[in-house]
Amino acid sequence: METKIINPSLVRLDADLGSTPDEVISGLAAVVTDAGRSTSVDELAAAAHAREAKSHTGVPGGVAIPHCRCAAVTEPTLGFARLKDPVDFGAPDGPADLTFLIAAPEGGGREHLKILSTLARALVNKEFVASLRAAGSDEEVVALITEVLNNPPKKKKKKPASTEATAAGAGAAAAAAAPAEKQEDAAAPVTRIVAITACPTGIAHTYMAADSLTNTVDEMDGVELTVETQGSSAVTPMDPEVIAAADAVIFATDVGVKDRERFAGKPVIESGVKRAINEPRVMIEEAIAASKDPNAHRVSGNAGAAKAEAADSGSSLSWPKRIQQAIMTGVSYMVPFVAAGGLLLALGFLFGGYDMANAWETIVKDYSITNLPGHDITVDGEVINLTKAGFSLYLGAVLFATGQMAMGFIVAALSGYTAFAIAGRPGIAPGFVGGAISVLLGAGFIGGLVTGVLAGFVAWWIGSWKVHRVIASLMPVVIIPLLTSLIVGLAMFFLLGAPLAGIMNGLTNWLNSMTGTSAVLLGIILGLMMCFDLGGPVNKAAYLFGTAGLSAGDEASLKIMAAVMAAGMVPPIALSIATFVRPRVFTPAEQENGKSSWLLGLSFVSEGAIPFAAADPLRVIPSMMVGGAVTGALSMLFGAGSRAPHGGVFVLFAIEPKIGWLISIIAGVIVSAAAVVLLKMVWPQKIVEKQAEAAKAEAHA
C-alpha cells in the first residue's frame, strides 16, 4: 500500500526549531501547515501541546513522537525534523534529535492509524533510526520512511511464538506445539509470557511498547512472548490457547485492559505503557520470576484489581495514589448523575415554581397530562397553595421528579464506581449497596466514599483467594458480591454508620451556621481549589463538595454550589480576555485558543484553560487561583445560591441573587486577566520573545 503521509516539504534536516518541546512542536506544526496539510498552525500546535502536557512523548534512542488529532488537519500527515540541537522530550536516556509530529484528522478512519502505528513501531528498530540520522537529503528521509510504512521491517525471531496477536494464528500454532517442544528440549524449559499494551490515544506508545518487549525477547533464551496491542487500530484478540499456555502476564497499559478476565489466575506484572518501552528487559525478567513464584500476585479476572496489586508486582503506584485514583473514578462516574439530575431540578423550578418542591410527588402521582393540577394541592391532608398551575406546574413537577430520581443515585454511584475502580465488576454491586446504606443512615457522600473504598478492597481481597476452578467461575458473579455486600452492610450498621452520620450532620450544621468571615474564607478555599488544576483531582474534590449537598436543597449547599461554579468559570474567560487585551504576550496558539475559551468559561468548562496552563503553568495557574479566590469570596459574601450543578450563565434562572453572582465572576475575571498579563509582561516567555524578535526581523527585511 503506497502512502503519501510524508513528502519532502514535510522534512527539515539539521533544523533549529527551538530549545523546548513546545517550540519544536510549534515549528513542526508550521511545517505541516505550510505544506497544505493543516488549515491552522495554531490549532494544530495547541492540540499537540495539549497531548504533550498529558505525558512526555520522548522515547529511548533520541526520538520524540508528539502526536495528536485535530480538526485543522486535512489528511493523515507526518512532519519530521532532525534537530541541530537535541531537545529534552522527557525520555529516560536524554534529549531527542529526531522528532516526528504525527497529525491525524479529527474522527479519521482506521487506515491512517495503521500507518501511524507502523511508524511508531519502526522507531524501536535501531537500523532504521540510524539511517535517518545518516540521511543526506529530504528525499532520502521520505524514501526511508515510506519504505518502512509500506514494508514494515521483519523481526528477527528465534522462536515462532514471539509474535503479536495481530498475526492471527501464529500464537495458536505456538501453543499447540508447546508439548512437543517441551519433549524435544526438556533440558531447556521455555517461559511463555503474554502481554497487553495500551495507551490513551492508541496511536504510538501502544505499538512501541509491544515491539520493545518483542525485540527484547528475541535477544533472550528460553522465553516466548505473545503481545496483544489494544490500540486505535483493529484489535485482534489473543488466541485462548496461547493464554492458557502462558506462564505469566504483562500488562503495560495506561488504560483499562479489555476482557481482563481472560487472564484470570495468571501471575501478573503491571505498569504504565512507558515502562515497557524504557525497561522491557526488567519487566520480562520480573514476569519470569513471577511465573516461578507460587505466591506471586495473580490476575483476579476483573478490570480494576490490578490497580491494587502490591508494589512488587510491577505497579509503580502507591496505595494512597491508588485510593485517590479510585475516588476520582467514582467522582467521574457520579458527575453525569449530578449534572443530569441537578439541571432537571433547576428546570423543574423554572416551569413549576420553587414552592412546587413541597408538592411534586403528589402532583406526578395524582395528576396527568389530561388531569392537570390547579393552584391548590392537598399533601398529607394539608392544602398547599402554589404560585403556578396547569401544564406549567405539571411539567415542572415531572422534570423535578426525574431530577430527584437521578440525584438519588449520586451517593450510590460514587460508592459503586469507586469500588469498581479498585476491584472491577465484582465491586460494583457491593459498592452500590454500601452507598444506599449510607443514604439510609444519613452518612451522605462521606459514607459513600468510605463504603466505596471498603467495598473495593474487600472485593479485591476475596478475589485474591485461591479456590477450586469450579468455585472460581462463581466468584465474580455470586460469591464476591454476596460476601462483600454482607461485610460492608454489617460494618455500616454495626460500626461505621452512626459515626459517619454524625460527621455528616456536623458538617451540615457547620455549613448552615456559616456567615460573614467564615463563609468568605470557605469561598476563598473553594475558589483556589477550582482553579488549581483546572479539572484535575483538586478541582474535582471541590466540585464533589459543592454537589454533595445539592439534593438536600439547604441554603448552605446552594451557596457552596454557586461559589464552586462561579470560580470554575473564571480561568477560561480571563485568559480569553487577556489574549485580546495583550495578544503580544501570548503565543499564536494561545491567541487562537483565546477566541473560543470564553464560551467554555461561560458554560462552566474549566478545562478550556488547560492549554494555557500546560504551556505556561508558573504564570497562568497562580493568576487563575487569585481570581478564583476573589470570585469564591464574593459569591459567598453576596449569598448567591445555585440550584443547578452545571451550565454556567445558561442556568442563570436557577441562581439567586443573579446580579451578585455575576459581579463575583466579573471581579474574578478582571483580577485573573490582569494578573496573567502582568506576569507575562514582567517575566516574558522565551518562546514569545523569540517570536517577537522574528517578527521584527521580518518587518525590517
Q: Report d(CA 195, CA 162) in Å as an integer.
A: 11
Residue 668, amino acid: G
φ, ψ dihedrals at 104, nearest 5°? -115, 140
Q: Catalytic: which of 49, 68, 112, 199?
A: 199
Residues 6+ apart with CB under 8 A from 645: 338, 339, 342, 343, 546, 547, 550, 561, 565
Q: Catalytic: which of 49, 67, 112, 205?
A: 67
Crossing angle for the helix pair 555-581 and 658-682, to the nearest 10 degrees? 40
Q: Report d(CA 180, CA 686) in Å as an integer.
A: 64
Do 263 and 194 meet the contact criterion of CB atoms below 8 Å apart? yes
Torsion of CA 396, 398, 404, 410, to 10 degrees: -110
Residue 548's CB is within 10 A of a number of other CB atoms, namely 25
- SS (HEC) of 218-286: HCCCCEEEEEEECCCCCCCCCCHHHHHHCCEEEEEECCCCCCHHHHCCCEEEEECHHHHHHCHHHHHHH
Q: Is 67 a catalytic residue?
A: yes
φ, ψ dihedrals at 634, nearest 5°? -65, -40
Q: Report d(CA 349, CA 97) in Å as an integer.
A: 60
Burial of 277 (0-12, 13-18, 19+ CB in 10 A): buried
Residue recorded with cell 439510609: 440
Q: What is the C-alpha end-to-end distance of the chain, expressed in Å?
A: 45
Residue 36's CB is within 10 A of a number of other CB atoms, namely 12
Spatial CA neighbour of 499 closest among 568, 444, 561 = 444
Q: Report d(CA 191, CA 195) in Å as an integer.
A: 13
Spatial CA neighbour of 419 closest among 480, 473, 491, 495 = 480
Spatial CA neighbour of 65 closest among 57, 56, 73 = 57
CA-based radius of gyration for the chain: 29
Spatial CA neighbour of 250 closest among 215, 209, 218, 220 = 209
Q: For the chain, what is the largest distance between any 2 Cα atoms, rounded to a whole number of angstroms?
A: 92
Q: Report d(CA 531, CA 534) in Å as an integer.
A: 5
What are the catalytic residues?
67, 199
